[in-house]
Amino acid sequence: MNGFAPVPDAEHETVPIVTNDDVVRARQLVRTLAQRCKLSLVDQTKLVTAASELARNTLVYGGGGVMRAGVVSQDGRTGVTAVFEDSGPGIPDIEQALVDGWTSGGGLGLGLSGARRLVDHFTLDTAPGRGTQVAVTKWAR
């Protein structure tokens, strides 16, 4: 695990991620939440980009899964948290998976490392045979 990201409370929304259209729906939900939370346009773009990468990873590498996203509050701050979960094969070498340019498939290798750079908090919980959970949070400034 890297960092800390609060999990959305009961007011979160869930998007199943099983098709390319679901990746678009996940991205749209995160954008709506970011606007509601009054993130700056730059921060909205960063969060939506991270969510898009993570949703695509959930579909392509995890074989599909779910995204839970919602507005969160902590220590007087408000932000958006998105949690991506799958029951796929998991990531055998987390350090390698977080290196820019490394890919286990045909991508650019910027999914996990790029998402981590774009958000304020990033957690990764995975193990071979156990699936993957990635949580990201972007705080309003």
By the 8 A CB rule, do 44 and 95 touch?
A: no
- Residue 108: the pLDDT is 44
Structure tokens at 124: 């990764």
Q: Which of 37, 56, 57, 58 is nearest to 120 (CA)?
A: 37
- Separation of alpha carbons 80 and 72, rounded Å: 6
Which residues, 6 or more positions from 3, have their beta carbon under 8 angstroms from its beta carbon? 121, 122, 123
What was the pLDDT predicted at 72?
A: 92
pLDDT, one tens digit per residue, over 104-125 is 555 544 578 889 999 999 999 9
User: Which of the two residues, 137 and 6, has the higher pLDDT score?
Assistant: 137
> pLDDT, tens digit, for every residue of 25-37?
999 999 999 999 9
* Residues facing 74 on adjacent strands: 77
Q: Which amino acid is at 43?
A: D
